[in-house]
Amino acid sequence: MPIIHGRVDLDGETDSTNFFTSSNDKEGQYTISLRVTMESQPTVVVTADNNKMTVCTVQTVDVNTFRVNTRVGSSAEAENSAFSFLVIGGE
């Protein structure tokens, strides 16, 4: 079962990695593309990497791509934020 983890900066940049790419599509919205295709839909866990009250949600997960939305506090307004993630491959 493949496991991939990583960190995405608030501008969508990552440390050099062979396992995924990322982009900041618009304010508070990121797309992560895995370079490994899972056999089925994986489980994705995301956590904010800052000292604000940031809320991260995972959207549209498929076998090699997922989207993360970020916002600060109870506001519904999207805001860019750094985050870390863990992907556990489906079997």
What string of pLDDT tens digits covers the 91 residues of the chain?
789 999 999 899 887 677 899 999 999 999 999 998 888 999 999 999 877 778 899 998 999 999 999 998 777 789 999 999 999 987 6
The pLDDT of residue 1 is 75
Q: Quote the pTM value.
A: 0.89
The pLDDT of residue 16 is 67
Q: Concatenated DSSP letters for the chain?
A: --EEEEEE-TTS-B-S-SSEEEEEEETTEEEEEESS--SSPPEEEEEE-SSS-EEEEEE---SSEEEEEEEETT--SB----EEEEEE---
The pLDDT of residue 28 is 94
The pLDDT of residue 91 is 64
Domains and CATH numbers, the chain: 3-88 (2.60.40.2080)
